[in-house]
Copies of this chain bind each other. A is one copy, B any other.
Amino acid sequence: MTSTASSLASSKNLSHSAISRSLLQHSSKPISQRTLVIPTIPRNTKNLYIQRYQKLQIRPNSTSITASSFKPELATAPPPLPLPTPPVTKFKIGLCQLSVRPDKERNIGHARKAIEEAAQKGAQLVLLPEIWNSPYSNESFPVNAEDIDAGGDVSPSTAMLSEVSSRLKITIVVGSIPERCGDKLYNTCCVFGTDGKLKAKHRKIHLFDIDIPGEITFMESKTLTAGDTPTIVDTVLADVGRIGIGICHDIRFLELAMIYAARGAHLLCYPGAFNMTTGQLHWELLQRIRAADNQLYVATCSPARDAGACYVAWGHSTLVGPFGEVLATTDHNEDIIISEIDYSILKQRRASLPLTKQRRGDLYQLVDIQRLNSH
């Protein structure tokens, strides 16, 4: 797969009637055989798909539905991949909820100590917070950004992570740091393997733009550029599974979690710095449902709360199991959470409640555009 965009280019205007709000009327004819009044697409709306489907002549036929026509394997396109069975299914994960200061050098040393402590406690996979080497602000991003691809002295944060992951023989999902690439800045999560090598780099796909008057206004898009690809990584050497990566606001987009699940992920890692407005209401809710809907593990890691910072993080880093159950969590203070993951549970859960098999590919379909285009 390449990370470039698909070219969903051509489209034309359609001439459908405006939204109809007519009512269905009672009749002796079963509703399933009547024409339901569904709002149509507004005039001038571009829709490439209609043209394609029309060309391909897959308009509805008159055959009645039977269970065999549910086509659950078509509910995601391409069809879901089987869940891989890692050689080792049980391991410990460490979530390092770190305090963050304006001094980048201090943050790097502080993170190193936390990773060492997590590893000492048995963690084979360590997750750091979103933007852990810099305050979370549009002013601080350019000051603390690093050229990750250049590496070495130009990127002291990733140099530390490469060294420590190799020395301790652990996998690190690095939360995120501001990344400079040419004239652009990204909010970027790196994954380092047990050999100290960079295994994947996820640039936040959905930038955090929010405006709730009197409560919170933040526009990441003022300074940052959005990433252009979902990121899934297999950690073969370390046996810590197939991991899908999202950063903070990415967790709100259920499609991303679903396409990771369909790509065979065991675990989703979301470093994230939710705030005091949305944190209490949404942070745990989003983690639990992404896990329960997709029947996989979800791990999150936030910076510790600093009431004096310009952006106050909610904290509450958490590990959630595949039934949406909170396995380990903490409050808003600095902390290191160590908890066990057991991937053998995933297949049990999916057998008990076979959501994937129950999906209705005859009614809806989630398309993973990059995976589709990679073939």
Contacts and interface: CB of A to CB of B under 8 A. Distances in A.
A12 interface: no
A117 to B, nearest CB: 26
B50 A375 contact: yes
Given A65-B226, A236-B21, A373-B60, A367 B49 contact: yes
Contacts of A193: 23
A113 interface: no
Interface residues on A, range: 35 or more
Interface in A22-45: 22-26, 28-42, 45
Contact of A230 (B33, B212, B226, B363): B363
B354 A209 contact: yes
Contact of A200 (B24, B211, B259): B24
A293 B6 contact: no
A204 to B, nearest CB: 11
Contacts of A203: 32
A352 B264 contact: no
Contacts of A372: 49-50, 53
Contacts of A235: 23
Interface stretch (A76-84, A119-127, A302-310, A327-335): A76-84
A260 to B, nearest CB: 11
A271 interface: no
A233 interface: yes
Interface in A59-82: 59-65, 67, 69-71, 73-75, 77-79, 81-82
Contacts of A77: 47, 49
A65 B26 contact: no
A371 interface: yes
B79 A255 contact: no
Nearest to A207: B358
A214 to B, nearest CB: 11
Q: Which 4 A-B pairs give the minimum distances between C-beta atoms?
A: A65-B228, A255-B364, A26-B198, A289-B289
Interface of A: 1-9, 14, 16, 19, 21-26, 28-42, 45-50, 52-54, 56, 58-65, 67, 69-71, 73-75, 77-79, 81-82, 84, 149-151, 181, 193, 197-201, 203, 205-207, 209-213, 221, 226-237, 242, 249, 252-256, 258-259, 263-264, 281-282, 285-286, 288-289, 292-293, 323-325, 351-355, 358-375
